[in-house]
Amino acid sequence: GDSGLTPQNASAADKFAVREALEALTLMLAPFTPHVAEEMWAGLDDAGGILQSGARWPRADAELAKRETLEIPVQVNGKLRARISATPDTAEADLRAAALADEKVRAHTDGREIVKVIIVPQRLVNIVVR
């Protein structure tokens, strides 16, 4: 479908984001397809070539890549039984409590002895029952 966003009605922030993305793409293509990258650079109305511009290789911002919530699988005896949502800094005790409180997990643990709860932070909760 039509998103309705055209260059005429795009905000300054939208235009900046698109330009920044195109410049980064062009710079990353340059080592593999230098001629195409130079043509793209010229199409961005940047004077001179890529090398003459002094443009730097794009840098990733680790802050932007951080996840605010994680979906952590909960296993009972190695079989996936549920998924819980948690923040990356959730304490192991809280992960354990959330996993044991989940209704799907309780269906597989009620009336059985919990031998061990294995927690791999930000990755997995495995409950071993007998």
Give the C-alpha separation, 117 to 96, whole Å: 7
pLDDT score at 3: 63
Do both 53 and 87 map to the same domain?
no
**Same domain flag for 55 and 74:** no
CB 40 within 8 A of CB 34: no
Q: What is the pLDDT of residue 116?
A: 96
The structure's pTM equals 0.57
Alpha-carbon distance of 2 to 11, in angstroms, equals 17
84 and 124 fall within a common domain: yes
Q: What CATH number corresponds to the domain at position 107?
A: 3.10.20.590
Digit-coded pLDDT (tens) for 1-36: 556 667 778 888 988 999 999 999 999 999 999 999
* Domain span including residue 17: 12-59
Is 2 inside any structural domain?
no
> Residue 87 carries which DSSP code?
-
Percent of the chain clearing pLDDT 90 (strictly above): 66
Q: Are residues 125 and 74 in the same domain?
A: yes
Is the residue at 89 inside a domain? yes
The answer to whether residue 115 scores a pLDDT higher than 60 is: yes
Position 51 scores a pLDDT of 83
Count structural domains, the chain.
Answer: 2
Query: Rounded mean pLDDT of the chain?
Result: 90
pLDDT tens digits, residue range 43-62? Answer: 987 678 888 888 888 888 88
Q: Do 79 and 50 share a structural domain? A: no
